[in-house]
Amino acid sequence: MDEVHVELPDQYPYKSPSIGFVNRIFHPNIDELSGSVCLDVINQTWSPMFDMINIFEVFLPQLLRYPNPADPLNGEAAALLMREPKSYDNKVKEYVQKYASKEAADDAGAESEDDDDMSSVASFGDDDDQPAGQMDDV
């Protein structure tokens, strides 16, 4: 289960929302510590024609399934994906078990129940038990 933090600016939908993962994710295009997402459509090419449905049903799932190591926020993840894809997959699985499992989500939920300012989406993705891996795994 991935938990996503969303902040809508006053100018939304004319200005893109701020999107970040709350739980730690090992991915070339996601900053491991802040959860910031490097996604061109959110950061540079945003259009008012896009909406939150596009973000959660198209843009983020595509980013998670098809990482872009050529434009990394996490250099370690990008390098590992390019040099040792099997090791990358193993590390992704390790992070899923440690930070995105049902148990980890329950623990995090218990710690953040008082946070009313945060909008989030839990259970992101259509197959919560399988971490994103190489394209040949899809």
**Mean pLDDT of all residues in 107-124:** 51
Q: Which CATH class is domain 4-124?
A: alpha beta
Per domain, the residue ranges of the chain are 4-124
- Which of 12, 13, 18, 38 is catalytic? The answer is 38
Reported as type and span, the H/E element at residue 34 is: none
Reported as type and span, the H/E element at residue 19 is: strand 18-21
pLDDT tens readout for residues 28-65: 999 999 999 988 878 789 999 999 999 999 999 999 99
Q: Residue 26 has what pLDDT? A: 97
Least confident of 35-39, 91-95, 106-110: 106-110
14 is a catalytic site residue: no
DSSP-based three-state secondary structure for 82:
helix
Q: For residue 117, what is the DSSP state?
A: S
Which residues are registered as beta bridge partners of 6? 19, 119
**Mean pLDDT of all residues in 87-94:** 97
Q: For residue 47, what is the DSSP state?
A: -
Burial group, residue 41, by CB count within 10 angstroms (0-12, 13-18, 19+): middle
